[in-house]
Amino acid sequence: MITVRKSSDRGYADHGWLKSFHSFSFADYHDPQHMGFGNLRVINEDRIAPGTGFGTHGHRDMEIVSYVLSGELAHKDSMGNGTAGAAVSGVIRPGDVQRMSAGRGVLHSEFNHAPKDTTHFLQIWIEPNVRGIESGYEQKYFDAASKRGTLRLVASPAGADGSVTIHADASIYSGLFDGEPPLRRVLAPKRKAYVHVVRGSVTVNGQALQGGDALRLERESELTIAGGVDAEVLMFDLH
């Protein structure tokens, strides 16, 4: 079964300093038909104004992945990441994938310190398969060449192929498509797949999609990505 989720159907919030599209119910946006998909709970497309950001706040028992599209995002947390002299700067840029395992509890903040540029990023929450673990943090860079015309694994349960490690029965793939031949990928029919078009245009399993659109696939045996025009996509393999 294939279901299209159009960009214009998402929830939207304008807080002045933050403009956010919600693919699933979040904060003041509530839609009982879109509470999540499998163990994928949140995809927020956020734009943070220059010199602003999320003040210190807490999370618990959630795998949180941040994916920057433009600008920079400075992360600081109660584990010491992002502080002066820390081994991890906490600053993520386009091409970086950041994973924070909230576990039994973590405090963090996220800021756009640029004086003029907006930070545009995706905030992704996935429900973990273990709870009460020690909080953890990881960030890795994936260059454009490794994603060109293919789906590059960027997050997985075992950190396979150099991906970041998430404590969830889910994998995230990133791909760039701009005139390449169609990509075909076998899907496990008992699992769910979710394709989110980050930007550009592309056809997925015969459905024409634009930036912000998404495709839910259930009990499907194949994924086909074709006709990409300056397209960037994320594909989620879900429990």
Q: Residue ranges of the domains in the chain?
A: 2-238
Q: Could you give the CA distance from residue 147 to residue 35 in angstroms, rounded to a whole number?
A: 29
According to the CATH classification, is domain 2-238 in 2.40.50.100? no
Q: Could you give the CA distance from residue 16 to residue 34 in angstroms, rounded to a whole number?
A: 25
* One pLDDT digit (tens) per residue for the chain, 239 residues: 999 999 999 999 999 999 999 999 999 999 999 999 999 999 999 999 999 999 999 999 999 999 999 999 999 999 999 887 777 888 999 999 999 999 999 999 999 999 999 999 999 999 999 999 999 999 999 999 999 999 999 999 999 999 999 999 999 999 999 999 999 999 999 999 999 999 999 999 999 999 999 999 999 999 999 999 999 999 999 99
CB within 8 Å of 218: residues ≥ 6 apart: 1, 3, 192
Q: Could you give the CA distance from residue 235 to residue 185 in angstroms, rounded to a whole number?
A: 11
DSSP state letter for 145: G
Asked whether the beta carbons of 104 and 71 are under 8 A apart, the reply is no
Handedness of CA 109, 112, 118, 124 (dihedral sign): negative
